[in-house]
Amino acid sequence: MSVNAEQVRESLTRCMDPEVPLNIVEMGLIYGIDITPSNDVNIKMTLTTQGCPLHQTLVQDVTRYVKKVPGVNDVKVDIVWNPPWTMDKMSESAKAKLKSMSSGNSPAPIDYETALPQGVGSLVQQEDGGMVLANEHNQGFMVNQAIIDFWKSCNGQRKITELVDIFAQKTGLQRSQVEKEVIQLIGQLRDGGLIIIPQPETPNVQFRK
């Protein structure tokens, strides 16, 4: 049974970019799919940013999705930085989605000093062992362990500065390296309906009837 690149690409459309809710094929991160006569698959791909702390987990996700294609033997994933990724490599539909995400409903800015993100939704294990976070509308987002741990650490009692500390400890990276990632992650999880950021209490004046 021979495997073709189309099947592999199709399976990879279910693998989400860790930084934006789009799949890695739409994002234009897959540079090449090479299949040997013995059905070993070599993937050449890039990432949107060098030094992305989720790069290891993305390689595991890609490997897992390629292996879902019937007949695939070994999978090798090479991360390449040449040519560097730019937004031009995204599919037209992905560009449109990004645009609508950024312009659509810009939610209230997050106040990083006072916000206490609270994880909502549920964690669902898929048959293949992959994990999905589902929001109240049952929309699922492919996530990896790093994102799950982070989502669990949003317990509505920690400020964002504390969440950055926890993420830095877990990933073994410097605070300054993860701060931007955490802020992006909070924004994405919030857009996906997986985190709520309660607005600070305002005195509630009730009129007696």
Mind listing the domains of the chain with CATH numbers?
5-89 (3.30.300.130), 109-196 (1.10.10)
Which residues of the chain fall short of a pLDDT of 70? 18-19, 51-54, 100-109, 199-209
- φ and ψ at 204, to 5 degrees? -100, 115
pLDDT number for residue 20: 73
pLDDT number for residue 113: 76
pLDDT in tens, 19-41: 677 889 999 999 999 999 999 99
What is the DSSP track for the chain? ----HHHHHHHHTTSBPSSSSSBTTTTT-EEEEEE-TT--EEEEE--SSTT-TTHHHHHHHHHHHHHTSTT---EEEEE--SSPP-GGGS-HHHHHHHHHHHHTT-PPPP-TTT---EE-SEEEE-TTS-EEEE-TT--EEEE-HHHHHHHHH-BSSS-HHHHHHHHHHHHT--HHHHHHHHHHHHHHHHHTTSEE-PPPP--------
- φ and ψ at 129, to 5 degrees? 90, -10
pLDDT in tens, 164-191: 898 888 878 888 878 888 888 888 888 8
